[in-house]
A and B are shown apart, each in its own frame.
Chain A
Amino acid sequence: MTTFTVNGTQQVVEVDPATPLLWVLREQLQLTGTKFGCGMAQCGACTIHINGQPVRACVTPLASAQGQDVTTIEGLGSVANNPHPLQQAWIDEQVPQCGYCQSGQIMSAAALLAKNPEPTDADIDTAMAGNICRCGTYGRIRKAIKRAAGQAVVQNFDPSLEVQHG
């Protein structure tokens, strides 16, 4: 029996404590915003926070969550009700394409901003290098992180985007 807190709610689960936390979140707790991508901490799609630190849930045994404070994308904020500044920035910069990696991207970015509110490009590179996006939204992710950090950014999404008429 493992007892831990997920998004502010205490959970008690009876699952083999060696089971990666990813599958407990998805199958037992129905928190499916955290995604399975590789199973070996290579892609970052399963990034969650344990006590505020970003971890890859696909290689984190349930046992290590005992008594800890887990946050998933669902706990970070919701678009309908009080989105996290990063979630709003992701919408403003029109970041997601397929969207599958974006929970993990946002969780990595949230951990970065929590400890470093004004990250440089190099800080962003370091914090985000563990998260793969096969749709290639990296440029927009960078802009969205800067936007959420309140830094001046060149707006990528512009309704009046000028196009050349040939």
Chain B
Amino acid sequence: MGKWTRRAVLTTGVVAGGGLLVGVALRMGHRAPKLAPLVTGADETLVNAWVKLGADNATTVIVPHSEMGQGAQTALMQMLADEMDADWDTTTFMEAPAFDEYANYAMGKGFILGDAPIPSVLVPTVDGLFFQITKSMHLQVTGGSASIRTTGVYGMRIAGSAARQMLLSAAASAWQVPVGELATSHSYITHEASNRRAPYSEFAAAAAEMTPPATPKLKPMKDFQLMGKSVPRRDIPAKVDGTAQFAMDVSLPDMVYATIQRAPVFGGKLKSVDASAASSQPGVLEVVSLDNAVAVVAQGYWQARQALAKVSPQWDTQGLDKVSSESIFAQFEGDLDAGTERKSDLAAGDVAGAFAAADQVVTADYRVPYLAHACMEPVNATAWVHDGICEIWVGCQNPLGFKHAVAEALSLDVEDVTLHNHFMGGGFGRKASPDWVIQAAQLADKVRRPVQLVWSREEDMRQDNYRPAIQSRFRAALNAQGKPIAWENSYVDKHEPAEAPLIPYAIAAQDIGHVSSPTHVPFGPWRSVDHSQHGFFTESFIDEVAAASDADPFELRLELLSGKPRHQAVLKLAAEQAEWGTPLPKGRGRGIALQESFGSLVAQVVEVTVVDGNVSVDRVVAAVDAGFAVSPDGLTAQIESGIVYGLTAALYGEITIDDGAAVQSNFHDYQALRMNEAPTIETHIINSGVAWGGAGEPGTPGIAPALANAVFNATGTRVRQLPLKNYDLRYRVEEQDEVG
């Protein structure tokens, strides 16, 4: 199975492009006339690709990101409206439609150059390969904690500033005054000397005729009016009275319902089906066989679900029905022992020499299991094939990519697929892969009427693209003073981001690398991707290094971060706020962790109480430096969310594999953290002013190690395998085989 290249490109592309891409968002010339028919209604003018003005002077921001709970749409509006000096109360947003012309300019093909060839001036700055790849990928992705730090920084701010500049030019021309004498505020332009004042809308048509400026001037931070303020999210009111429209809320005339079972053994195929019992069930319209799945189409979901249980599918398991979690970890162990196809992530200093000279060597093996995403909304989509076209209603993280996937599956031209994107009831990476929407399209193609495909929770849990299980092996060399002088780490299966296994600590000799150990279990990005595993591994093992030399884990980290003031600042802030170092009663413990991911730094201190082996997580104190918090409350909400998501996984999360298939099926055996178990979370923000970072994922990686380190502090048991529920903490666990 390959890597999820689409996302890999997305994140590496951000690195490759970096600051060079500033100003490019609008550089492809005068595109508004081509885009206008896609997004404007009567009495609306598209000023540039990302903003339109109504005759009533209302501003609409066109946002190329979907909403799965992260609140990015409001934050992106803030960024554009601030640069444009638009009136916030009359500014709204629409999600960019899934057309190639609205591919995510700030992250993909459109961002770099649209359909235009690469201007010669930019050729040296653009990675040619990256350009070719993104061009073919139809990127309109929400993921990688990238909305604000790419689309916002390189797209929305520039588009807002450009729009303001275009409107000013139009006003200067209409009023025959120098642009420099004009001022803007709340969607109005004023000329003080002549006492004139007019709304933006008056100049919208003239502005739309202009070619956007290539490098509009951005506001310095001190002039921000909206950025940096916690404005209420615009999507929230509809989410408290049942009016928010998720994909499953779609209802079409003549619509029928379907549910499906894919081959339980991953990679299996459908051999045969006995549809007779199911077909005679009330309300059943059709039993549909697909290559690797069987579905029932009925008048209602419940009827389809009842009937599906009566279908007796025979599966070809492709010989994969003997694989288990045990066999997978045995394979990992073997590949780590053998160093199978080991590739280096980082090699620095004289590692062998350091181990030869070591006063003490610390070793440990860590393991984490497969994880499901378990979005609250099971995956679902509605499809309708009619008149040579296919319409899709779905909530997904990549509308344009999904549209192309459907076109390919049904052998349609992409222009003949229309995709209506909806709010997602959770995404977390699951809703970036189009497997289920292809199923919906295939069913609709067979039954020729609108079909709403809804997966059962059991199907959602057992047919996920899982967070990969990983084993990671460590060795550290300590000198006579107890200081680490070498760090050696090998783990199975690298995905992305590439830097996830790297540590920020000043250890002179380092050898970090990965071995190959593929399995048949489908995988995909899961909130914070490889950071979710490596954050736990590295931040736990550095704690082991501290314990081996009787060093305070906070003080040791601080010392090894000398020369990294931002890292030190977040670590110190979390420790101070959590009263690090003050004594705790017996049975209680504190743990600390630091993780840099997606451009943001997060330090966390966790406090636990362990009574009779039962762990309660009392308090989490987080310090975050995301460069600049566009919406401090929004950033706080995302850190809280990332922590609870990661804490659920650390305490309970485990998909086990038996007979080649996933065992867990619903929330009774794949537990989620509940209200009565949720810790108090305090988030402290540092605006360091460096390049802006992400918010949706950086809260997740640090919680598992901070928790495990707190459990060690409270009990003396070192947690090297997740989830924590597999540990019997009534006694001190020494060996790995005591777990589970």
Using A19-B300, A72-B242 as known contacts, say yes or no to A39 and B456 having CB atoms under 8 A apart: yes
In whole angstroms, what is the CA distance A31 to B248 when docked? 12
Q: What chain A residues lie within 8 Å of B233 (beta carbons)? A: 94
Q: What chain A residues lie within 8 Å of B678 (beta carbons)? A: 136, 138-139
In whole angstroms, what is the CA distance A165 to B690 when docked? 11
Using A27-B301, A74-B241, A79-B237 as known contacts, say yes or no to A36 and B685 having CB atoms under 8 A apart: no
Q: What chain B residues lie within 8 Å of A141 (beta carbons)? A: 675
Residue B599 interfacial (CB < 8 Å): no
In whole angstroms, what is the CA distance A55 to B453 when docked? 26
In whole angstroms, what is the CA distance A87 to B229 when docked? 23
Residue A99 interfacial (CB < 8 Å): yes
In whole angstroms, what is the CA distance A30 to B230 when docked? 35
Q: Which of B277-310 contact A (CB under 8 A)?
A: 282, 300-303, 305
Asked whether, in the complex, the Cβ of A37 is within 8 Å of the Cβ of B240, the reply is no
Asked whether, in the complex, the Cβ of A97 is within 8 Å of the Cβ of B641, the reply is yes
Q: What chain B residues lie within 8 Å of A164 (beta carbons)? A: 573, 684-687
Asked whether, in the complex, the Cβ of A37 is within 8 Å of the Cβ of B674, the reply is no
Q: What chain B residues lie within 8 Å of A33 (beta carbons)? A: 241-243
Asked whether, in the complex, the Cβ of B376 is within 8 Å of the Cβ of A96, the reply is no
Asked whether, in the complex, the Cβ of A38 is within 8 Å of the Cβ of B240, the reply is no
Using A43-B667, A124-B675 as known contacts, say yes or no to A165 and B645 having CB atoms under 8 A apart: no
Q: How far is the CB of A155 from chain B (nearest CB, A)?
A: 10
In whole angstroms, what is the CA distance A165 to B680 when docked? 25
Q: What chain B residues lie within 8 Å of A30 (beta carbons)? A: 251
In whole angstroms, what is the CA distance A128 to B232 when docked? 25
Identify the closest chain A residue to B68 (Cβ). A98
Residue B423 interfacial (CB < 8 Å): yes
Using A98-B426, A163-B687 as known contacts, say yes or no to A126 and B376 having CB atoms under 8 A apart: no
Render B657-686 as a binary contact track against A, CB cut-off 8 A, 1 for contact: 000000000111000111110101100111
Q: What chain A residues lie within 8 Å of B357 (beta carbons)? A: none
Q: What chain B residues lie within 8 Å of A161 (beta carbons)? A: 230, 632-633, 636
Asked whether, in the complex, the Cβ of B242 is within 8 Å of the Cβ of A42, the reply is no
Asked whether, in the complex, the Cβ of A90 is within 8 Å of the Cβ of B424, the reply is no
Q: How far is the CB of A85 from chain B (nearest CB, A)?
A: 11
In whole angstroms, what is the CA distance A11 to B719 when docked? 56
Asked whether, in the complex, the Cβ of A87 is within 8 Å of the Cβ of B240, the reply is yes
Which residue of B249, B426, B680, B689 contacts A134 across the interface (Cβ within 8 Å)?
B426
Which residue of A83, A102, A138, A142 contacts B644 across the interface (Cβ within 8 Å)?
A138
Q: What chain B residues lie within 8 Å of A42 (beta carbons)? A: 666-668
In whole angstroms, what is the CA distance A100 to B246 when docked? 8
Q: What chain B residues lie within 8 Å of A20 (beta carbons)? A: 302
Most chain B CB atoms below 10 A, which of A16, A31, A36, A98:
A98
Asked whether, in the complex, the Cβ of A163 is within 8 Å of the Cβ of B632, the reply is yes
Q: What chain A residues lie within 8 Å of B676 (beta carbons)? A: 125-126, 128-129
Q: What chain B residues lie within 8 Å of A53 (beta carbons)? A: none
Most chain B CB atoms below 10 A, which of A30, A129, A132, A135:
A135
Q: How many residues belonging to B are interface residues under a CB distance threshold of 8 Å?
A: 80
Asked whether, in the complex, the Cβ of A100 is within 8 Å of the Cβ of B425, the reply is yes
Q: What chain A residues lie within 8 Å of B378 (beta carbons)? A: 36-37
Asked whether, in the complex, the Cβ of B239 is within 8 Å of the Cβ of A96, the reply is yes
Asked whether, in the complex, the Cβ of A134 is within 8 Å of the Cβ of B374, the reply is yes
Using A37-B457, A134-B645, A166-B688 as known contacts, say yes or no to A79 and B240 having CB atoms under 8 A apart: yes
Residue A70 interfacial (CB < 8 Å): no
Asked whether, in the complex, the Cβ of B426 is within 8 Å of the Cβ of A157, the reply is no
Asked whether, in the complex, the Cβ of A73 is within 8 Å of the Cβ of B235, the reply is no
In whole angstroms, what is the CA distance A8 to B257 when docked? 28
Asked whether, in the complex, the Cβ of A99 is within 8 Å of the Cβ of B569, the reply is no
Asked whether, in the complex, the Cβ of A166 is within 8 Å of the Cβ of B687, the reply is yes
Residue B231 interfacial (CB < 8 Å): yes
Asked whether, in the complex, the Cβ of B426 is within 8 Å of the Cβ of A100, the reply is yes
Residue A5 interfacial (CB < 8 Å): no
Q: What chain B residues lie within 8 Å of A95 (beta carbons)? A: 236, 240
Asked whether, in the complex, the Cβ of B230 is within 8 Å of the Cβ of A158, the reply is yes
Asked whether, in the complex, the Cβ of B675 is within 8 Å of the Cβ of A97, the reply is no
Residue B507 interfacial (CB < 8 Å): no
Asked whether, in the complex, the Cβ of A97 is within 8 Å of the Cβ of B242, the reply is no
Residue B273 interfacial (CB < 8 Å): no
Asked whether, in the complex, the Cβ of A159 is within 8 Å of the Cβ of B236, the reply is no
Asked whether, in the complex, the Cβ of A132 is within 8 Å of the Cβ of B674, the reply is yes
Q: What chain A residues lie within 8 Å of B643 (beta carbons)? A: 136
Asked whether, in the complex, the Cβ of A157 is within 8 Å of the Cβ of B232, the reply is yes
Residue A133 interfacial (CB < 8 Å): yes
In whole angstroms, what is the CA distance A31 to B249 when docked? 9
Render B415-430 as a binary contact track against A, CB cut-off 8 A, 1 for contact: 0000000011111100
Residue A76 interfacial (CB < 8 Å): yes
Interface residues on A, range: 35 or more
Residue B338 interfacial (CB < 8 Å): no
Residue A106 interfacial (CB < 8 Å): yes
In whole angstroms, what is the CA distance A15 to B303 when docked? 11
In whole angstroms, what is the CA distance A133 to B566 when docked? 33
Identify the closest chain A residue to B461 (Cβ). A38
Using A106-B240, A163-B686 as known contacts, say yes or no to A129 and B644 having CB atoms under 8 A apart: no
Residue A101 interfacial (CB < 8 Å): yes
Q: How far is the CB of B223 from chain A (nearest CB, A)?
A: 15
Q: Which of B677-721 contact A (CB under 8 A)?
A: 678, 680-681, 684-689
Q: What chain A residues lie within 8 Å of B230 (beta carbons)? A: 157-159, 161
Q: What chain A residues lie within 8 Å of B456 (beta carbons)? A: 39
Which residue of A32, A90, A131, A142 contacts B242 across the interface (Cβ within 8 Å)?
A32
Q: What chain B residues lie within 8 Å of A98 (beta carbons)? A: 67-69, 375-377, 423-427
Q: What chain B residues lie within 8 Å of A96 (beta carbons)? A: 69, 235-236, 239-240
Q: How far is the CB of B296 from chain A (nearest CB, A)?
A: 15
Asked whether, in the complex, the Cβ of B242 is within 8 Å of the Cβ of A73, the reply is yes
Residue B238 interfacial (CB < 8 Å): yes
Render A20-36 as a binary contact track against B, CB cut-off 8 A, 1 for contact: 10010001001111111
Residue B625 interfacial (CB < 8 Å): yes
Residue B106 interfacial (CB < 8 Å): no
Q: How far is the CB of B264 from chain A (nearest CB, A)?
A: 18
Q: How far is the CB of A47 from chain B (nearest CB, A)?
A: 12
Asked whether, in the complex, the Cβ of A90 is within 8 Å of the Cβ of B688, the reply is no
Q: What chain B residues lie within 8 Å of A45 (beta carbons)? A: 376
In whole angstroms, what is the CA distance A128 to B678 when docked? 11
Asked whether, in the complex, the Cβ of B376 is within 8 Å of the Cβ of A133, the reply is yes
Using A39-B457, A99-B69 as known contacts, say yes or no to A91 and B629 having CB atoms under 8 A apart: no
Identify the closest chain B residue to A40 (Cβ). B666
Asked whether, in the complex, the Cβ of A37 is within 8 Å of the Cβ of B376, the reply is yes
In whole angstroms, what is the CA distance A91 to B232 when docked? 8
Q: What chain A residues lie within 8 Å of B640 (beta carbons)? A: 136-137, 139-140
Residue B637 interfacial (CB < 8 Å): yes
Q: What chain A residues lie within 8 Å of B71 (beta carbons)? A: 97
In whole angstroms, what is the CA distance A157 to B277 when docked? 56
Most chain A CB atoms below 10 A, which of B232, B242, B456, B644:
B242
In whole angstroms, what is the CA distance A129 to B232 when docked? 27
Residue B38 interfacial (CB < 8 Å): no
Q: What chain B residues lie within 8 Å of A131 (beta carbons)? A: 674-675
Render A138-166 as a binary contact track against B, CB cut-off 8 A, 1 for contact: 11111000000000000011110101111
Top 4 A-B residue pairs of the complex, sorted by shortest distance between their CB atoms: A33-B242, A136-B644, A100-B425, A99-B239
28 A-B residue pairs with CB within 8 Å: A16-B282, A16-B302, A30-B251, A32-B251, A33-B242, A35-B248, A35-B376, A35-B425, A39-B457, A43-B376, A43-B667, A79-B240, A83-B240, A87-B240, A94-B232, A95-B240, A96-B235, A96-B236, A97-B637, A98-B426, A99-B238, A129-B674, A134-B375, A135-B641, A140-B637, A161-B636, A164-B685, A166-B687
Chain A residues with CB under 8 Å of chain B are 15-16, 19-20, 23, 27, 30-40, 42-43, 45, 72-74, 76-79, 83, 87, 90-91, 94-103, 106, 124-126, 128-142, 156-159, 161, 163-166
Given A27-B301, A33-B241, A33-B242, 9 extra CB contacts under 8 A: A94-B633, A98-B69, A98-B376, A100-B246, A134-B426, A137-B640, A138-B674, A142-B675, A158-B633
